[in-house]
Structure 1
Amino acid sequence: MTESAITNSKPDLLPEGLEDRLPREAAAVTRVMHAVQGVMHRHGYDRVLPPMVEFDETLGARMAGIRSRRMFRFVDPQSLRMLILRGDHTPQIGRIAASRLAAAPRPLRLCYAGQVMLIRGDGLDPAREKLQCGAEVIGSDSVAAASEIVAMAIEALTAAGAIAVSVDFTLPDLVDILAAQALPLPADAIERVRRELDTKDAGGLVDAGGAAYVPLLYATGDFDVAIERLAQFDTHGVLAARIAALREIAARLGGQARLTLDPSERHGFEYQSWFGFTIYAQGVRGILGRGGTYRIAGATGGEAATGFSLFPDALIDVLADAEPLEDRVFLPLGHDADAAARLRAAGARTVAALTEADSAAALGCSQVLRGDSPVAI
């Protein structure tokens, strides 16, 4: 079969990893975005709206670890420079903070919401277009900033409808700290040790020259238990400050979520510095978001920042079936236009008949405008 025949046989087929959101799902998307953005707004975060497309070198230069090769890239027909379709808002927020808002007082609190696009999905998640909502504290990577960010991520997801939220802490620079002081590693072995820690392979860790790192595989799980094991492992005291910081963040959260610890986890934390976290919720498949501390690249060596990104599509899938159907008022031909306008001003939804054949039942309405008042069917 020719390519033309394949295309014409399924003219409405969407590319892999892309989907339509029909009315009930779209309503859930709108409600979730409103709930998440509302929490951030009430905490003093100002929303920004960066463009979908930027210059490739601009986006990638603001943050170490940005994998631009996973993003759609193409040549701008006007400038003939390489453009990139946004795959993550975070470097865009970094660009805005370092340029347009460079003179704004710090800490600078910004938030965002919008779609991102990747060339391929992650692991078992084939989605290539995703909704991303998040917030950044620019100018601080302190324990206080990290605590505020984690607490706000939990609050935002709870407001959106997530239940039994759990948070997994990690220390993205753990191997670097240990390899530099307490447990030296050859430069060419560091990445192999990181990889084996990520895969939780004790045998592979030994083969990579990281036998001394094997106890880290057991410093995982429930936060209170795992942090004690990590403290016992840290016989040289090089992790003391990190351990104290994790304990303080956990204490500040005050039981808002179940906490776990996986100190050596690196997947998804390519540009985080000393602290990272992953967030989940009961009944929702996969990861709902990530966050942590990082540095925004700049001429003066970079600026500290702390933030999180939520990807609530899986939560929306769970919530969409329970999304309540809104009442709608049917407006028959010849209805009182002023009465209908007053209903809409009061927040009602109206659906006007276009022909005599239209009916309230066919158009999914629960009420009909009779005179100047709606009447239940």
Structure 2
Amino acid sequence: MNDLSSIEAPLPKGVNDFLPETADQITYIASRIHRVFQLWGFRRIITPLLEYEDVLALAMGEELRSKTFRFEDRQSGRLLAIPPDITPQVARIVATRMKGLPLPHRIYYNGKVLRQTESASGKSREIFQSGVELFGLDSPEADAEMVAMAVEVLQELGFEGFKIDLGQVDFYRGILEEADLSANGARRLREAIAKKEVSALSAILEGERIPDRVKEEIALLPRLFGGPEVLTAAAKVQSSDRAKRALDNLRQVISILEIHGLSQHLTIDLGEIRGLDYHSGITFEGFVPGVGEAVCSGGRYDELTANYGFPCPATGFAFNIMTLLGALSQRPEVQASRSRDFLIFNQKEDRREALEVAAQLRKLGYTCARDIIKRDLDSSLAYARTMNIRTILVIGAAECAEDEAYLVRVSDRAGRAIKKELLLEKGLPNLEPEGENHG
């Protein structure tokens, strides 16, 4: 016999089962995101769960490679990888499968990736990503389009007071080019700037042979955060041509976002350099009140498809669905996505009418399950409450005429009779069909 105690915790650390209630909420959030993507003209792509490791690695920096799950393929003998990010996969597909098609490509995706994490970190290894990629446009308007879509999604999900932090990785790289740092110094410098540790940054700069002018530029990076005044301050201290071009690009993107009417949602952070290795220009992260990590992030990555022999400018971003769920799970509309409309309770010996009523309600767009188990109404009410079913429809109730059915609201057991003809033609005026909540 199986030792049941051995399956009390059947999953590895960092992965989860999601029961129907949570799965419904995840589906609801993803469906709202996808609707915005579709309205902007993006088409869905589905990527594979496995890739050849050497092929996938072409489009991943060291950061992602270090987080990749790898194992040997017994069929080919080659090393396989479970993707830690979907963007490199989409870049491969565009470069190898879609290169003959006219540009631009507007692509969206929804999927789960796996990343290695430190065992003591408590972080999930699974990341639910829902994102877009725009290939073929080297334009500030394309970068602005990504930010505008992120804002629209957050508005669609009901967030208020959210912010989009804009950065430009080429600004940092332009300054760093003039510093001529040692490899270790560059790594420590990046960590200090990313964490905005001013004292640590000063100590690193003191230990490196860097021109004083460049030291001043680097030391200012953690402070270059805020509104439009940040651009003015940055322009006064930087002298690198690459950094100047980066600032000009950022100005253009912001001016287009002003046309979109989104200025109130924007902050500028030129010390934000935590983007993935493949980013090459504008980057951004979205933050909502009460959540300590970004709910979405992305940016420009013009060099990625060139690794597969197809140079093509690109930009994109992705939402972290689980982070959104943490912020939204108690919202009424997200809670409502867990519920179902009807449970059919049949008190007649003949099941024909119950099956026909259920079929007609489904045609009207309501979710409808049959309580096939023989039990009393109280037991069915308890079951419906546990399953988040809102209404029991009793067929053959003693309280009703032959042309009526009996409705019981599960939340408070309130009941009333209703004409079957009215119900099956128009549904219930106070019970809207589930519609896209489970799309």
Q: Confirm or deny a common fold (TM above 0.5).
A: yes
Asked whether 1:176 is paired with 2:173, we answer yes
CA contact (8 A) 1:36 1:156 kept: yes
Between structure 1 and structure 2, the one with the greater Rg is 2
SS of the counterpart of 1:116? strand
CA contact (8 A) 2:175 2:238 kept: no
Match of 1:348 in 2: 366
* Cα distance in 2 between the residues matched to 1:373 and 1:114: 46
Asked whether 1:368 is paired with 2:381, we answer no
Asked whether 1:285 is paired with 2:292, we answer yes
Asked whether 1:229 is paired with 2:249, we answer no
CA contact (8 A) 1:52 1:85 kept: yes
Find 2:244's aligned residue among 240, 245, 261: 240
Find 2:254's aligned residue among 226, 232, 250: 250
Deviation of the 1:34 alpha carbon: 0.5
* Cα distance in 2 between the residues matched to 1:167 and 1:70: 27
CA contact (8 A) 2:60 2:277 kept: no
Match of 2:202 in 1: 203
* Cα distance in 2 between the residues matched to 1:39 and 1:123: 37
Aligned AA (2:344): L
Q: 5+ residue gaps in structure 2?
A: 397-402, 409-439
* Cα distance in 2 between the residues matched to 1:179 and 1:339: 70
Match of 1:274 in 2: 281
Match of 2:313 in 1: 304
Match of 1:14 in 2: 11
TM-score (norm 1): 0.89
Asked whether 1:67 is paired with 2:64, we answer yes
TM-score (norm 2): 0.77
Deviation digits for residues 67-126 of structure 1 (CA, Å, limit 9, x no counterpart): 223121111111111111121100000011001111111111111001111121699661
Asked whether 1:328 is paired with 2:341, we answer yes
CA contact (8 A) 1:167 1:258 kept: yes
* Cα distance in 2 between the residues matched to 1:40 and 1:202: 40
Deviation digits for residues 18-71 of structure 1 (CA, Å, limit 9, x no counterpart): 223233221111111111111111111110001111110111113445622312
Q: Which deviates more from structure 2 when the two are superposed, residues 251-260 or residues 124-133?
A: 251-260
Deviation of the 1:289 alpha carbon: 1.6
CA contact (8 A) 2:171 2:247 kept: no
* Cα distance in 1 between the residues matched to 2:187 and 2:318: 26
CA contact (8 A) 1:329 1:369 kept: no
- For residues 331 and 223 of structure 1, do their structure 2 counterparts lie closer, same or farther at Cα, with a shift above 3 Å needed? same
- For residues 355 and 215 of structure 1, do their structure 2 counterparts lie closer, same or farther at Cα, with a shift above 3 Å needed? closer
Deviation digits for residues 188-224 of structure 1 (CA, Å, limit 9, x no counterpart): 444443333223333233235252311222212x222
- For residues 52 and 111 of structure 1, do their structure 2 counterparts lie closer, same or farther at Cα, with a shift above 3 Å needed? same
* Cα distance in 1 between the residues matched to 2:311 and 2:130: 24
CA contact (8 A) 2:58 2:308 kept: no
Match of 2:435 in 1: none
Aligned AA (1:356): K
Deviation of the 1:166 alpha carbon: 0.9
Match of 2:416 in 1: none
* Cα distance in 2 between the residues matched to 1:163 and 1:113: 24
Asked whether 1:185 is paired with 2:180, we answer yes
Q: Which deviates more from structure 2 when the two are superposed, residues 67-76 or residues 47-56?
A: 67-76
* Cα distance in 2 between the residues matched to 1:71 and 1:339: 51
* Cα distance in 2 between the residues matched to 1:374 and 1:174: 69
Deviation of the 1:148 alpha carbon: 0.5
* Cα distance in 1 between the residues matched to 2:281 and 2:144: 13
Deviation of the 1:12 alpha carbon: 3.3
Asked whether 1:30 is paired with 2:48, we answer no
Q: Which deviates more from structure 2 when the two are superposed, residues 251-260 or residues 287-296?
A: 251-260
- For residues 264 and 319 of structure 1, do their structure 2 counterparts lie closer, same or farther at Cα, with a shift above 3 Å needed? closer
Aligned residues: 370
- For residues 238 and 302 of structure 1, do their structure 2 counterparts lie closer, same or farther at Cα, with a shift above 3 Å needed? closer
CA contact (8 A) 2:43 2:108 kept: yes
Deviation digits for residues 158-206 of structure 1 (CA, Å, limit 9, x no counterpart): 22343322111122233332243xx342454444433332233332332
* Cα distance in 2 between the residues matched to 1:122 and 1:214: 34
Match of 2:268 in 1: 261
Deviation digits for residues 312-368 of structure 1 (CA, Å, limit 9, x no counterpart): 212212322331153532223424322210101111122212222164412214231
SS of the counterpart of 1:50? coil
* Cα distance in 1 between the residues matched to 2:157 and 2:37: 12
* Cα distance in 2 between the residues matched to 1:347 and 1:177: 57
* Cα distance in 2 between the residues matched to 1:13 and 1:144: 48
Q: Identity rate of aligned residues, in percent? A: 26
Point out the structure with the larger helix share. 2
SS of the counterpart of 1:303? coil
- For residues 122 and 217 of structure 1, do their structure 2 counterparts lie closer, same or farther at Cα, with a shift above 3 Å needed? farther
- For residues 341 and 347 of structure 1, do their structure 2 counterparts lie closer, same or farther at Cα, with a shift above 3 Å needed? same
Deviation of the 1:136 alpha carbon: 0.5
Q: Which deviates more from structure 2 when the two are superposed, residues 170-179 or residues 341-350?
A: 170-179
